A and B are shown apart, each in its own frame.
Chain A
Amino acid sequence: MTAPADALDPVRAELLRAARAEAEAVLGRARADADETVRLARGTAEKVLAQARDLGAADGRAAATRERVRAAADAWARELAARAEVFADLRVKTRCGVRQALVDGALPSARFAETARALLGADARITAVQGGGVTAEAPGRRLDLSADTLADRALARMGVRIESLWERP
């Protein structure tokens, strides 16, 4: 039952390699933006603090702190958004990769029908799905072996390895 998943392993590795290059660009942009925000905030905070000192006001420190916190939160939000973008890209690529593998025959589609019949019984009704793969149905039960479902599953299986996309070197 795990054989097709193993067949995806090289696909996964290749996908991850390809994705890493693009991820660096996305993250690099986001991080530069974030750094700029933090730098600006630091400047603003110092200004606020200086003004406050001039005026002898007590809440200058609080305002400056607020500014710094806001900038740090903002920078972190940008980082997360960039990671999400990288992740979404990887998902698209994985789906394309699996579809392509089906077209190329790297994943033998005949195996899907076999698997479906093994799990649901010999009289399972098998339907080809647009984009590759099949779904199978028997009374009370259903099996989704469509390319996209398989791709999402493969992605889930990559787990923490995906984090290598956004880890700072």
Chain B
Amino acid sequence: MSGFADVEYTGVRELRGPLVVVEGVCGVGWDEFATIALDSGERRHGLVLEVDRDLAVVQVLEDTAGMDRTGTRIAFSGTPLRIPVGAGWLGRVCNGRGEPADGGPPVLGATDTAVAGAPINPVRREPPNEPVLTGVSAVDVLTTLVRGQKLPVFSAAGLPHLELAVQIAAQATCGGEAFAVVFAGMGLTHADASFVRAGLAERSAARELVLLLNTADDPVIERLLTPRIALTVAEDLAFTEGRHVLVVMTDMTAYSEALREVSAARGEIPARRAYPGYLYSDLASLYERCGRIRGRPGSVTVLPVLTMPAGDITHPVPDLTGYITEGQIVLSAEVYAVGTYPPIDPLASLSRLMRKGAGAGRTRADHPDVAAQLIAALARSRQVRELADLIGRSALSPTDLRHLDLEDAFRQRFLTQATDENRPLDDSLDRAWDVLLTLPRSQLGMLPADLLDARQAGAQKPGEAP
């Protein structure tokens, strides 16, 4: 990678967990990338965690299993890890380290870029204000994803977050502008990995997708690299190639566990639930790579997916993620239990940038009002349902009963959709209207009167009246 020849170091002093301590090194810098050759001919890779005089502590991505003190040679690249970037990534399927897994040649690029990335200058950031449409009604209408936003999916074991992530990755568009998806899978089972590949095959063949897959039996530490490679590729596609790029990263809980494992091996002082104290900053170093830059086309939108262990939203991974990201899409076991896909909880979900990315000239003029009214109505529906559970349906007022109807209509006519159903925004919004008109007009105070008139006239067409 660097010069004409790299010195390989053979003085292995210590092997511990994923760490190898090399002695006698000279001029090795912190965070440098290392290549490790074993006598068996196998090659592994590592990152320098610490350099102390002539000692270097290297974190081995593939773990140290099978390494010994005499047959291990370590070469340092002279710089922190850099990868080639460019359009050559489009259409490629790689492992978690960015090596081909699709039978193709290595990915080549005109320039190399450090995977650590560089922070976007806050004064050069363009505040996000245009939507990414996903073809998923609940996302597009209620938690609109905005170009340059970071919006996580909070899920739990057993819920179809991977299906939703793949559906969004397969369907997302930016109104005809150049678009690409970078999908980083971490700790996926082989079945899941095949599911992802199959679900995104069309996008891949259309050269609109970069797929990086670290499977559950791949090295755990490699997961620390996967999202960084994904984001580095995405930043180039966005800010050099001018595309709008959606980066899907799943599962961030698996990623954080890898971080915890390395931290434990280093004997670091743990913070909450044994995760390292720098978990926030580490996650931020990934999520914050989203955005738009003034005067440049393209955008990086980040959609991390994470499973909340035991469904606990106060667990450090969802909690810290929530502090960094701009809202969240929450999947609910309760909604899924009644067979609804996607099981999005509309009240717990929120896109903080939606008010900038939705409305006239962005999505549709009526969108913000419709979304606000639908959320307000659903909040009322939930209260009514709780009340009904306590005191029985018979004690409910007629308006309350209509709110229970609304909740059903929302689920059946709006929320539910097939995993391969790509719903145009107009269709989604019309369905939202349809659901809202379950309520009497007096309950729809957030909607402009003229639109209501037009809609109610439309809804009375023969055969469509309830």
Direct contact of A and B (CB under 8 A): yes
Residues of A with Cβ closer than 8 Å to B? 1-5, 62, 69-70, 72-73, 75-77, 80-81, 83-84, 86-88, 115, 119-120, 137, 139-145, 150, 153, 156, 159-160, 162-163
**B4 near A153 (CB under 8 angstroms)?**
yes
Please, how many angstroms separate the alpha-carbon atoms of A77 and B202 in the complex?
Answer: 12
Within 8 Å by CB of A142, from B3, B73, B201, lies: B73
Please, how many angstroms separate the alpha-carbon atoms of A144 and B7 in the complex?
Answer: 8
**B10 near A140 (CB under 8 angstroms)?**
yes
Residues of B with Cβ closer than 8 Å to A? 1, 3-11, 23-24, 73, 84, 86, 88, 91-92, 100, 102-106, 108-110, 201-202, 204-207, 420
Query: Which chain A residue lies CB-closest to B201?
Result: A73
**A87 near B3 (CB under 8 angstroms)?**
no
Task: Determine how close the nearest CB of chain B comes to the CB of A157; give it in whole angstroms.
Answer: 9
Please, how many angstroms separate the alpha-carbon atoms of A126 and B462 in the complex?
Answer: 93
How many cross-chain pairs have Cβ atoms below 8 Å apart between A and B?
96
Please, how many angstroms separate the alpha-carbon atoms of A69 and B23 in the complex?
Answer: 53
Within 8 Å by CB of A119, from B7, B23, B105, lies: B7
Query: Which residue among A87, A119, A140 has the maximum number of chain B CB atoms within 10 Å of its CB?
Result: A140
**A2 near B3 (CB under 8 angstroms)?**
yes
**B5 near A145 (CB under 8 angstroms)?**
yes
Within 8 Å by CB of A143, from B7, B103, B105, lies: B7
Query: Which residue among B1, B7, B109, B204 has the maximum number of chain A CB atoms within 10 Å of its CB?
Result: B7
Please judge, given known A-B contacts A1-B3, A141-B7, A153-B4, whether A86 and B86 are in contact too, CB under 8 Å. no
**B109 near A5 (CB under 8 angstroms)?**
no
**B88 near A163 (CB under 8 angstroms)?**
yes
15 A-B pairs whose Cβ atoms sit less than 8 Å apart in the complex: A1-B4, A2-B4, A70-B201, A72-B205, A72-B206, A76-B207, A80-B92, A80-B102, A86-B105, A115-B4, A115-B5, A140-B24, A141-B11, A145-B5, A162-B108
Task: Determine how close the nearest CB of chain A comes to the CB of B173; give it in whole angstroms.
Answer: 17
Query: Which chain A residue lies CB-closest to B197?
Result: A73
**B24 near A69 (CB under 8 angstroms)?**
no
Query: Which residue among B84, B92, B201, B420 has the maximum number of chain A CB atoms within 10 Å of its CB?
Result: B201
Query: Which chain B residue lies CB-closest to A80?
Result: B104
Please, how many angstroms separate the alpha-carbon atoms of A37 and B466 in the complex?
Answer: 50
**A159 near B109 (CB under 8 angstroms)?**
yes
**Chain B residues within 8 Å of A76, by CB:** 91, 204-205, 207
**B8 near A83 (CB under 8 angstroms)?**
no
Task: Determine how close the nearest CB of chain A comes to the CB of B195; give it in whole angstroms.
Answer: 15
Please, how many angstroms separate the alpha-carbon atoms of A84 and B100 in the complex?
Answer: 10
Within 8 Å by CB of B23, from A1, A80, A140, A144, lies: A140
**A81 near B205 (CB under 8 angstroms)?**
no
Please, how many angstroms separate the alpha-carbon atoms of A142 and B1 in the complex?
Answer: 17
Task: Determine how close the nearest CB of chain B comes to the CB of A107; give it in whole angstroms.
Answer: 11
**B105 near A87 (CB under 8 angstroms)?**
yes
Please, how many angstroms separate the alpha-carbon atoms of A141 and B86 in the complex?
Answer: 36
Please, how many angstroms separate the alpha-carbon atoms of A144 and B88 in the complex?
Answer: 31
**Chain B residues within 8 Å of A137, by CB:** 10
Contacts A72-B205, A140-B11 known; 18 new A-B pairs at CB < 8 A: A2-B4, A3-B4, A69-B201, A73-B202, A80-B102, A84-B100, A84-B103, A115-B5, A139-B11, A141-B8, A141-B11, A142-B8, A142-B9, A143-B7, A153-B4, A160-B88, A160-B109, A163-B88
Please, how many angstroms separate the alpha-carbon atoms of A89 and B285 in the complex?
Answer: 40
Within 8 Å by CB of B5, from A69, A86, A143, lies: A143
**A142 near B105 (CB under 8 angstroms)?**
no
Please, how many angstroms separate the alpha-carbon atoms of A120 and B10 in the complex?
Answer: 12
Please, how many angstroms separate the alpha-carbon atoms of A144 and B5 in the complex?
Answer: 7
**B88 near A159 (CB under 8 angstroms)?**
no
**A83 near B104 (CB under 8 angstroms)?**
yes
Please, how many angstroms separate the alpha-carbon atoms of A84 and B92 in the complex?
Answer: 12
Enumerate the 10 nearest inter-chain pairs by beta-carbon distance, A residue then B residue, closest first.
Answer: A80-B104, A87-B105, A140-B11, A140-B24, A72-B205, A73-B201, A160-B110, A69-B202, A76-B205, A142-B8
